[in-house]
Amino acid sequence: MLSGLLKPTSGTISFTDMKENRDIRKSIGYLPQHPVFYKWMTGQEFLVHVGRLAHLSKSEATKRAKKLLERIGLTDAANQRIGKYSGGMKQRLGIAQAMIHQPKLLILDEPVSSLDPIGRREVLTLMEELKEDITLLFSTHILGDADEVSDELLLLHEGRIIESGSMEALREKYQIAKIELSFDGNLRDYQKKVEALSAVTACYTDQSRLHVTVEDMAEARRHILAAASAEEWPLTSFSINRASLEDMFMKAVNS
Amino acid sequence: MQWWTLFQKELIENVRNIKWIWVPLVMILLAIVDPLTNYFLPQIIDAAGGMPDGTEIQLPEYQPSDVVMMSLGQFNSLGVLVIALMSMGTIAGERKSGVAELILVKPVSYTNYITAKWASLSLLTLTSITLGMIASWYYINLLFGDLSFGALLQVVFFYGLWILLVVSISIFYNTLFKIPGLVAFLTFATVILMGVITSIFAHVLEWSPNNISNYIQQMLVTGSVPSDLIGASLVTLIMIVLLVGGSVFIFKTKDMAE
């Protein structure tokens, strides 16, 4: 809808400094999940074409296309037919075509989900750079990616925004104090002992670690370490964890 | 400006996918195949043999106007099919593949997008039809009798209107549906259906666009433009405007993504 492809059933979309009734598409760049190009065009030609569609002059469009191709690292492939591009190259070209008219807002729909690890890294790095200049809005299912590049977060569940805010604020809100322990030997033997300590609220194990949620971090740490040294537990690691985005998401969905 | 960018893109695309080569060639072939086979029919029958001695075959003497109608007859069936097939993906295909999503999030006017496509297809088909008729005209003067160049231009002009209508029908279905095959089928079916309706209600539909080729023959025989041809041409023009306008309207109200 923001991109102008769907008509809103009610309401309007506008930018703060935008004149009434202006085409919002001028201020928006959009990259669909699976961008498709004219295969018979070269990367350079495609960028110039969409640039001119966005009312740039021919020389201006050519200049910007060159610059963008350099920025996304496709200068060598500029004069190759797009039909021959790899997935990562197409995704980067997709970002370039979305930026050719210097939009205020860049919307990316799952920009990295269909890419191999190398392509993913390329695109994430590019996004890191881009967010210095313009507003990026992107959707993803991979919470780790969101964690890596986002400053602010909107959590969607069943079509509604269930949580939003800056990363910091959300971390604060969903702070789960958690300690992870790992041992040489059977974890379950120690689970009961840890559970019995005061300040510990819950305790569960997975393959290699014992996860301990606590009420008061400082007190819990003292108790655990004291017990560990008194009974000479074969501890191999002790770590205090921040809540991951996944924890946040689960908690927000459940509440 | 933007219109020109879109139009240029269409031209380059149709050059690179060699439509600018095969469509004119097919149209030339369609235009000359009947005149040539009819002219050489006696020789063909001779060469095939099998006729008992003394068989007399009476072949009609063809007037130049008859031969023009042979070419137009081919255009009316196979020519229309070729137009339907080569134009079926122009918008439907772009929407199906998803390129349209990238193009239409740019500040592209839908009117420009559609009329540029219409214009590029029209140019291609008109050029092809004209080349075909020139080839036919060449053989008419060589083998059948005189036909002035002015008369040829008149034929191309009026028949061109009919062909533009076919292109407009295809563009219209292109904006309605996403499946190129369906667009081609509906375009072809519509033209055939129009022909059927025109012949069933012949007495009230004198100005039906499908009658244009009949009136062209009349024009060639009498040497003057019949008033019914003017009427049919006007109806055709109005239908073209309505179809293209309707296409733009449909496109504006349509959601471009799921």
Annotated domain spans of chain A? 24-150, 175-254
User: Domain A175-254's class?
Assistant: alpha beta
Confidence of residue A201 (pLDDT cuts 50, 70, 90): confident
Q: Which residue has the tokens 């390329």?
A: A122
pLDDT of residue A124: 86
Note whether B182 contacts A: Cβ–Cβ < 8 A: no
pLDDT of residue A133: 81
Which residue from B157, B167, B156 is spatially nearest to B115, judged by alpha carbons? B167
Distance CA B215, CA B228 (A): 7
pLDDT of residue A176: 67
Over residues B141-151, the pLDDT tens digits come to 999 989 999 99
pLDDT of residue A208: 76
pLDDT of residue B257: 61
Confidence of residue A220 (pLDDT cuts 50, 70, 90): confident
B258 has a pLDDT exceeding 60: no
Q: What is the DSSP letter of A215?
A: S
Cβ atoms of residues A228 and A188 within 8 Å: no
pLDDT of residue A69: 92
Over residues B125-173, the pLDDT tens digits come to 999 999 999 999 999 999 998 999 999 999 999 999 999 999 999 999 9
Give B184→chain A minimum CA distance, Å.
Answer: 22
When mean pLDDT is compared across A62-66, A129-133, B204-208, the lowest value belongs to: A129-133
For residue A254, the one-letter residue type is N
pLDDT of residue A58: 93
B103 has a pLDDT exceeding 60: yes
For residue B222, the one-letter residue type is T
pLDDT of residue A21: 63
pLDDT of residue B6: 96
B33 has a pLDDT exceeding 60: yes
Helices B227-253 and B110-139, packing angle to 10 deg: 150
| Helices (H), ranges, chain B | 2-16, 19-39, 41-48, 64-74, 80-87, 92-97, 99-104, 110-139, 149-176, 180-200, 212-222, 227-253
Burial B114-125 (b: 16+ CB within 10 A, else e): bbbbbbbbbbbb
Q: Which neighbouring-strand residues pair with A109? A: A139
% of residues, chain A, pLDDT over 70: 93
pLDDT of residue A242: 63
Average pLDDT (A170-197) is 76
Confidence of residue B86 (pLDDT cuts 50, 70, 90): very high
CB contact under 8 A, A101 and B99: no
Note whether A40 contacts B: Cβ–Cβ < 8 A: yes
A163 has a pLDDT exceeding 90: no
Note whether A112 contacts B: Cβ–Cβ < 8 A: no
pLDDT of residue B120: 97
Q: Between B117 and A252, whose confidence is greater?
A: B117
User: Domain A24-150's class?
Assistant: alpha beta
CB contact under 8 A, B106 and A38: no
For residue A204, give the 3-state DSSP assignment: strand
Chain pair A-B, CB pairs under 8 angstroms: 70
A122 has a pLDDT exceeding 90: no
- Which of A110, A180, A195, A219 does the annotation list as catalytic? A110
Give B65→chain A minimum CA distance, Å.
Answer: 43
Q: Which neighbouring-strand residues pair with A210? A: A181, A205
Distance CA A236, CA A245 (A): 26
Note whether A221 contacts B: Cβ–Cβ < 8 A: no
- Output the DSSP codes for A152-184: EEEEEETTEEEEEEEHHHHHHHT---EEEEEES
A20 has a pLDDT exceeding 80: no
Distance CA B52, CA B64 (A): 32
Average pLDDT (A8-27) is 73
Residues of B within 8 A of A40 (CB-CB) are 13, 16-17
Over residues A48-61, the pLDDT tens digits come to 999 999 999 999 99
Average pLDDT (A25-30) is 87
pLDDT of residue B8: 95
The pTM assigned to this predicted structure is: 0.83
